[in-house]
């Protein structure tokens, strides 16, 4: 068994040249919300869920994005209710949220 059951990485990359980036789409607030939701659900910590900041994950066109490991499921989201659904359905109950999955061909 790995140290964490799920590891969630949020892209927080900021581009100063005007190109698409997750930071410009509220990624920091989303990270903060998800981290708190995981904690409130009692999922945080060893054997549970770790929510981490990441630099560019190179999928800017789908931003904001987060990826959940070990399943390597990529998500895009619009608001806190989307994040709450990911926490409840995927991280707590093991059911990935199909409607929020980032299409595999979305890149930079």
Express each pLDDT in 13-42 by its tens digit. 998 887 889 999 999 999 999 999 999 999
Express each pLDDT in 49-66 by its tens digit. 999 999 999 998 898 999
Partners of residue 65 on adjacent β-strands: 76
Does the model's pTM come out above 0.85?
A: yes
Q: List the Cα angle 34/38/41 in 5-degree steps.
A: 135
- Domain architecture of the chain: domains with CATH: 6-100 (3.40.30.10)
Rounded to whole angstroms, the Cα distance separating 49 from 47 reads 7
Burial group, residue 59, by CB count within 10 angstroms (0-12, 13-18, 19+): buried
Average pLDDT, the chain: 94
């Amino acid at each position: 068994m790995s140290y964490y059951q799920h590891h969630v990485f949020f892209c927080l990359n900021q581009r100063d040249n005007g190109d698409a980036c997750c930071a410009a789409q509220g990624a920091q607030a989303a990270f903060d919300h998800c981290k708190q939701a995981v904690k409130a659900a009692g999922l945080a910590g060893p054997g549970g869920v770790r929510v981490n900041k990441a630099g560019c994950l190179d999928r800017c066109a789908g931003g904001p994005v987060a990826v959940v490991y070990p399943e390597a499921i990529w998500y895009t989201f619009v608001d806190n209710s989307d994040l709450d659904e990911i926490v409840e359905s995927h991280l707590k109950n093991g059911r990935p949220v199909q409607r929020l999955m980032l299409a595999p061909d979305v890149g930079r």
